[in-house]
Amino acid sequence: MQVEVVVGNIIKQPDLEAVINSANANLRLGSGVAGAIHSGAGPKLEEYCKPFAPLELGGALITPGFDLPNKWVIHVRSAHYINNAEPERYMSFAITSALRVAKENGIKSLAMPAIGTGTFKFPAMLAARITAKALNLFSINSAPLELVRICVSSEDLQAQFQSALELEVVERCRV
């Protein structure tokens, strides 16, 4: 599985089959990534999501992409770093759940945000390390996914995620 980290808008990744939405419990238009994805997909997305709310912590749900250039949206709910117990555990569950849903649906390429680093207040390096570890474990155990593109909002976030991914490769080689 190829993983790349880019500074870019997650809803402007037309070459990928799916995008991951860092969703709120109600699967509604929110701020940050959820706002961008819902706005890009149009009002049909929120209407489609209503029967599936609330999304459990660490859970994932796949929906059509509607007006997005991507066929699918995989919604995940990470923990709030300050307000939830065991936030690291639920962040890992959320990423693993999204990757599992992608695999179950035969998705080979997807874009993901820096999950949890906005509204959910995760420290960027911690989120990057959890993401890198989850991607690594998933690629070892099962990998129909060919490409994961992590879309971040700044060069600083890009450097932190790239560093975490490189560190995970070094750790894997030590084992």
Domain extents for the chain?
A: 2-174
pTM, full prediction: 0.95
User: Does 3.40.220.10 match the CATH number of domain 2-174?
Assistant: yes
H-only helix segments in the chain: 32-41, 43-49, 87-104, 124-141, 155-174
Tell me the sheet residues that pair with 109.
147
Per-residue pLDDT of the chain (175 residues; tens, 9 = 90+): 999 999 999 999 999 999 999 999 999 998 889 999 999 999 999 999 999 999 999 999 999 999 999 999 999 999 899 999 999 999 999 999 999 999 999 999 999 999 999 888 999 999 999 999 999 988 877 667 899 999 999 999 999 999 999 998 777 666 5
| Helix 155-174 with 124-141: angle, nearest 10 deg | 40
